[in-house]
Structure 1
């Protein structure tokens, strides 16, 4: 195989997001997967609001939303009798700063398909049946070894190859944590006898728990089952089969007259809560399940992996282009490791809460898995060395997620701040029409891959975004003469007064180099 700039091992949601982030920045990237076929299951079936914002930036959110259910209510039955209809997100609605109000129920295979299709628009396809078995690295390259004896040379390697990651094992990185006898049956089946308008959940204090979650536009439902009596001493469940799933459903749901058919994916899951002690070793990185595996409670695992990739992609691309010092790559671990640790904690607590009430007469079903900041909108990097607050008062601080706001273009066309951010660039927002001169000065000395945007209250000379309702100013808590630098991944990098324009030039120059 010929040399390349980056190799991504693993073509799940994390690997595909990373490959897409690199490809749209012009990086020569190859994405390899040992499986001859794409994953066919629904496993990671939820995208948080923050992950939907990532998909918005990647240009695929419309396809994602069209394929998913939002506000899918739950129906819980105990001993066959319906006791509760609920929607834990019923009170959520879009706000000016948060356009995606809650999670989206979409099968993992469909999310991956949409990511693959977008990646192919950049001329890159997943190389199937190509297994990474090891590597050697030097100070300037990685030699990736493949099954069958082939190799590929790259400047960087990223292991996105799942919980059993070959890349992680070859690195010798510890993967500390716990497993347990708790487990679950999982699968995708067709269903007759139910209307796909609820996530149906049945609990029986003596028998266990079973659930069927529909997907939009197709007769495919995710089956989840916890049959108490079927675990052996080692915590194993019987081999999954359609017949076995049907029996579990009939026993726990008390024969509701629901028939399962046409299985496309059957599996079992066991509790596994582990993470690495570092995300990087030289020119090799770990992301997603290769770095951290989570309980399914709250649906944060896949989303955390997607956001690992979103964090690493722009940094790796800048270093590969020679625009940034390689030390920028150290901030990947600095920023993502604490969030992975946090996610393990809250998802583990959510699992314990769900497990404790599954067999109760007053069971809430999976509603008990709703976790603190389960939509990941309040997570950020205030501790990061990339986050710098200047001597100015704003409603957002460095490290925060950069809010959205509906505004207008100078010709009166509706325009969101997310439209301004979308792409591969940094954005400097200048609040107040008087900031035009300041931004022009910045453009002369700051790096090229930066978009300079004047946010004004009304149309006028030099105003790029018309904040006609004051929603942008409110979201940022910005006053006239305020500068806000937004990173390519949609987090606030720096806040500064307009009089401190040199701080902006210094920050961008140190991070991504100065323009010629």
Structure 2
């Protein structure tokens, strides 16, 4: 959990604990020296948030004050529960066991080449499992479903019993195996009913829990933070109204739900592939192995989403259906601005243009927009980055035209587009910024 300080004060970051991320101290001198800090409680006030934390090593209690509070304390977030935000969807789809082990398999070429293995054994004493490759040599993670709603085993495996399971999965009876770590966890498919309540914002696993099939948990969490950070910065600097922060939930929640659905579909694929392998029907196996490839190739799901409702100004064009396998770049409002290499050495990209400011990006003949951007920035005091494309090929996703413009947010998503030059470009640009920020 992180507390966002009010503007105009000196604040220093706290060191995050293993379990939770807690706050900001009011000054460097008042910062407690504790590396394991837990959030005990928080209370909203008229002007901000009051947070109470406790050092798990010393028991020292500290009071914090901030303008906003970010809950980033994981899937079991106490902050989310204290804020009264419910999760929507099944909390438990399966109960899983993780066993992290060491065994040197570097002599096997496939151990160096494959990212992971699905083991569907013929032996009844061996469980079906996935083995993830962590270094291509001697570190492996076995993931096994041990129940639907609870651990259905008669008892947990002993260390030696698991070592025999690992040997059986690998097919080397005398393999030297060392068990390093083990844990039990549950597969969930949940998204918070809202990502904002008052001055509290949910980010990452605190806001959504996916089946791990697809790897969208971390990606979604990073996108959450990227979406929220610039909006908080603009509000705290007085460059935007607080209502801009409402767009965080309206933008990120639909994407989280889409990623949850996709991840769940990937999980179902595994079961159907297992059934196909056990049937020994080559056509059935071929079909589901080919379909499983869509699980592994999902750049469209990762990059192709559009923000339809939030800090964007629709231009009337209709969004294309999301294709999880393929990413089709577009400069349509709500989408990520397309990538283009800006030099033959391929070291600079259009994606490098977006960071802390809104960017006015014009077509090759759109110099009037750059002058308009300069005028608007000087008049409003809002910093604007002014950029001009060397080319605007529609085949690469650029629909702004030779004389058009797009306004790109600090997170790289297009906020507004006008693919032509109007009679008063400065007025149009200023109006778009006012709509977005006020």
My pick for the range that moved more, 376-385 or 156-165, is 376-385
Instruction: Quote how far apart the aligned CAs of 1:298 are.
Output: 1.1
Distance 2:331 2:179 in 1: 50
Corresponding residue for residue 243 of structure 1: 160
1:284 is displaced (CA, Å) by: 0.8
The answer to whether 1:160 aligns with 2:72 is yes
Task: Give the match for residue 35 of structure 1.
Answer: 18
The residue aligned with 1:417 is 350
1:283-330 CA distance string (max 9 Å, x none): 111111111111111111221111111111110111111111110000
Tell me the equivalent position of 1:111: none
Matched residues in 1 for 2:256 and 2:97: separation?
26
Residues 372 and 429 in structure 2, CA contact (< 8 A), matched pair in contact too: no
Distance 2:171 2:144 in 1: 14
Q: Establish whether residue 324 from structure 1 lines up as the match of residue 237 from structure 2.
A: no
Structure (1 or 2) with the larger CA radius of gyration: 2
Q: Is residue 43–residue 49 contact of structure 2 (8 Å, CA) maintained in 1? A: yes
Instruction: Tell me which of 112, 133, 141 is aligned to 1:222.
Output: 141
Question: Which residue in the other structure is 2:118 paired with?
Answer: 201
> 1:150: how far off?
1.9
Distance apart, 1:473 and its partner CA: 7.8
Distance 1:498 1:242 in 2: 71
Cα–Cα, structure 1 residues 445 and 335, in superposed 2: closer, same or farther, change >3 Å?
same
SS at match of 2:112: coil
SS for the counterpart of 1:331 is helix
Q: What is the aligned partner in structure 2 of residue 506 from structure 1?
A: 431
What TM-score comes out, normalization by structure 2 length? 0.77
Instruction: For 1:330-349, list aligned pairs within 5 A.
Output: 330-349=246-265
Correspondence 1:449 to 2:383: yes
Shift of 1:257: 5.5
Unmatched tracts of structure 1, length 5 or more: 1-6, 10-18, 39-123, 457-466
Q: Aligned-pair distance for 1:261?
A: 2.4
User: Which secondary structure does the structure 2 equivalent of 1:429 belong to?
Assistant: strand
**For 1:250 and 1:219, how far apart are their aligned partners in 2?**
13
TM-score, structure 1 length as denominator?
Answer: 0.66
The CA distance in 2 between the partners of 1:36 and 1:431, in whole Å, is 48
- Please say if 1:287 is aligned against 2:203: yes
Instruction: Show the counterpart of 1:438.
Output: 369
> Given the alignment of the two structures, is residue 145 of structure 1 paired with residue 52 of structure 2, yes or no?
yes
Structure 2 CA distance for partners of 1:413 and 1:293, relative to 1, 3 Å: closer
Residue pairs, 1:257-272, within 5 angstroms: 258-261=175-178, 263=180, 265-272=181-188
Whether 1:8 and 2:30 are equivalent positions in the alignment is: no
SS at match of 2:397: helix
Q: Residue 486 of structure 1 aligns with which residue?
A: 408
Deviations 1:153-178 (A, max 9, x none): 11111111011101011112112322
Asked if structure 1 preserves the Cα contact closer than 8 Å seen for 2:89 and 2:189, the reply is yes
- Indicate if the aligned counterparts of 2:92 and 2:149 stay in contact, CA closer than 8 A: no
Shift of the 407–34 alpha-carbon distance from structure 1 to 2, 3 Å rule, reads closer
1:128 to 31, 35, 38: 35
Q: Give the corresponding residue for 2:333.
A: 398
Tell me by how many angstroms 1:34 deviates. 3.8
Partner of 2:323: none
Tell me how far apart the structure 1 counterparts of residues 112 and 174 of structure 2 sit (CA, whole Å). Answer: 15
**How far 1:472 moved relative to its partner?**
8.2
Q: How far does the alpha carbon of each residue in 1:185-214 deviate from its partner, in whole angstroms, 9 at most, with x for none? A: 224332312442212332125443233322
SS in 2 for 1:508: helix
Judged with a 3 Å threshold, the aligned counterparts in structure 2 of structure 1 residues 406 and 428 are, in CA distance, closer, same or farther, namely same
Alignment of 1:50-61 (within 5 A): none
Structure-2 change in CA distance of 1:482 and 1:29 (3 Å)? farther
Relative distance call for 1:424 and 1:29 in structure 2 (3 A) is farther
Where 2:249 maps in the other structure, the secondary structure is: helix
2:313 to 375, 387, 393: 387
Q: Distance in 1 between matches of 2:235 and 2:242?
A: 6
Contact 1:34-1:132 at 8 Å conserved across structures:
no
Kept in 1, the 8 Å contact 2:376–2:429? The answer is: no
C-alpha deviation, 1:338, in angstroms:
1.0
On the 8 A contact 1:325/1:511 being kept in 2, the answer is no
Residues 245 and 479 of structure 1: CA distance in aligned 2, closer, same or farther (over 3 Å): same
The residue number in structure 1 matching 2:268 is 352
Cα distance change on mapping 1:283 and 1:233 into 2, 3 Å: closer
Task: Give the deviation of 1:420 after TM superposition.
Answer: 2.3
Aligned with 2:303: secondary structure? coil
Query: How many matched pairs?
Result: 386
